[in-house]
Structure 1
Amino acid sequence: MARRCAISGKGAMVGNNVSHAKNRTKRRFLPNLRTVRVTLEDGTTQKIRISAKELRTLKKHS
């Protein structure tokens, strides 16, 4: 399963680890994903993986 938010589409980003001597090696910045159970309009529930920021937004608007 891909590390991607089901709502916003956020995924992993690529950057560099930078040492004190300015040596650069590749690293990945992973999104803060959470698996939550959501209730749909027809009354059924479904598990989705969403980012923590989108979870806060959902709780704010519900």
Structure 2
Amino acid sequence: MLVVSCQLSVVSCQLSVVICQLSVVSCHLLVVSCHLSFVICQLSFVSCHINHLNQKNHS
């Protein structure tokens, strides 16, 4: 009985480690997606600015 409970605790510990690693991965993914959003935002701002300049030149 003791062996079974020991194995169960080992398994639960491994699961905790896996869950922790998944959390870290998802956190990294969040950071990456946040950076991407920021870059996309800057790009759209730049393109908007360029369009504005083009319109000024045309008029």
Please say whether Structure 1 and Structure 2 have the same fold, judged by a TM-score greater than 0.5.
no
Q: Larger relative contact order (C-alpha < 8 A, sep ≥ 6)? A: 1
Higher share in helix: 2
Higher share in strand: 1
Which structure: larger Rg?
2
